[in-house]
Amino acid sequence: GAFVPNVEKAQELAQVMVDIGKDAGRKIVALLSDMNQPLGHAIGNALEVKEAIAALQGDGPAGFWAHCLEVGGHMLRLAGKADSLDAGKAMITAVRDNGSAFAKFRDMVAAQGGDVAQVDNPDLLPSAQFIEQVVAPRSGWIAAMDTTAIGWANVRLGAGRLVKSDKIDHAVGMILPTKVGEQLEAGHILGEIHANDFEKLATAREELLAAITWSDEPVEPLPHFYGTVA
């Protein structure tokens, strides 16, 4: 994947990538997906693994699952396993519902020497010392999220590296269930910050609140996708 500032630039890059794939004799499609808010709710290593496990068991965020269905459906169609996008989505839903998708994920973890006990019980995954709920500072509609700023805030928490030698803290991150277009009252919970350093938590709180733009008027929710290039 690649991050670009607007849909027009994304379409240009997608066309270049599709052309390269076709020149190499590959079946290819590029999806223009929205990255102006988190795909799911979780940001951070263990938190995202928990969310992925929940999705495989039918309990993950609806928007995250919709994204998985769209991408997976296209992949199955391109691979010749499904006759259409809808058929591919139906196949994915079926293996989630019958438990075989989760079982395969468990097998993959075991094959790579991972701890399947953490798959069976995600509460065994690393957890942060401090978990703080962040509340809305005002009433209104969420108009925008600066996801670049939110991403860097999580890096500074320890969820990513500022330099190559940094050690990643797998426990830290954020849970942000609130989406663009939602109306909130002052004091309503925006999300959670998971941290192992109180000063970093305080900084992340300030950065998260600064990354959210508010409106006094209703705002349209964002789409999951803006189109495809094939």
Indicate whether 47 and 154 sit together in one domain.
Answer: no
Which ranges of 62-211 does DSSP label H, i.e. alpha helix?
Answer: 62-78, 85-97, 100-111, 116-120, 147-154, 198-210
DSSP 59: -
Cα(140)–Cα(183) distance, rounded to whole angstroms? Answer: 6
The separation between CA 91 and the C-alpha centre of its own chain, rounded to angstroms, equals: 22
**Domain count across the chain:** 2
Indicate whether 135 and 113 sit together in one domain.
Answer: no
Indicate whether 13 and 117 sit together in one domain.
Answer: yes
Supply the pLDDT for residue 2: 74
- With respect to residue 1, please indicate whether it lies within any of the assigned structural domains: no
pLDDT by residue, tens only, the chain of 230 residues = 778 889 999 999 999 999 999 999 999 999 999 999 999 999 999 999 999 999 999 999 999 999 999 999 999 999 999 999 999 999 999 999 999 999 999 999 999 999 999 999 999 999 999 999 999 999 999 999 999 999 999 999 999 999 999 999 999 999 999 999 999 999 999 999 999 999 999 999 999 999 999 999 999 999 999 999 99
Cα(72)–Cα(31) distance, rounded to whole angstroms? Answer: 11
Supply the pLDDT for residue 84: 97
Backbone angles phi, psi at 3, to 5 degrees: -105, 125
The pTM score is 0.93
Indicate whether 63 and 154 sit together in one domain.
Answer: no
